[in-house]
Amino acid sequence: QPGPYLVGRVDYNFEDEFHLTPVGSTTPAYPNVDVRATVRYPAVASGVGPPLPGTTRRPLVLFLHGNHYTCSSPCSGSHSCAPGARVPNHLGYDYLLDVLASWGFIAVSVDGFDVTAAWSPTMSDYEARGRLVLRHLEKWRDWDSAGTDPWGGIFHNRVAMNRIGLSGHSRGGEGVVA
């Protein structure tokens, strides 16, 4: 059941943000990894807008999906499809993000496209997924402490970085454990 708060929504997409490189190597196992997610939070109004007024720091809950089809149309490889043809697996948790935000949480669903159905002989899927989750958490730490989020600092001093929940389905679960 929905809670008492209206739900704000933003998305972020930092394309080719970083390389996932195994320890002791200089060659990326997963090059040009995107840092992309959809976010819900308790807000003044539904949709894109400011969070609730006040100084309350909200718990952060981060979700990572499992392996699924990556392209909506045939492509030469699982990671060679155009951005418009990608299956947005991370949006499958929208219903859950909405409910959590309505109860006072900042809820994030990570798009693991670059590590979904991918394989590297030098880095396990678990480690790659885990390091992707950590990269998102680094962003949230910076947005909370420095107010550098892409929406003008709406999450500055708003995130309870000592109250973080991690959840994942299937391979996403293995990633959050890693």
pLDDT tens digits, residue range 120-152?
A: 778 777 888 899 999 999 999 999 999 999 999
In whole angstroms, what is the distance from residue 133 CA to residue 135 CA? 5
- Mean pLDDT calculated for residue range 39-59: 91
Residues forming a β-bridge with 86 = 71
pLDDT of residue 166: 96
Under 8 Å between Cβ of 37 and 110:
yes
pLDDT tens digits, residue range 81-94?
A: 777 777 777 878 99
The model's confidence at residue 79, banded by pLDDT at 50, 70 and 90, is: low
pLDDT: which is higher, 40 or 29 = 40
pLDDT of residue 102: 97
Question: Phi first, then psi: what are they for 154, rounded to 5°?
Answer: -65, -20
Q: Name 9's Cβ contacts closer than 8 Å, sequence gap at least 6.
A: 38, 39, 40, 41, 47, 48
pLDDT tens digits, residue range 24-39?
A: 889 998 889 999 999 9
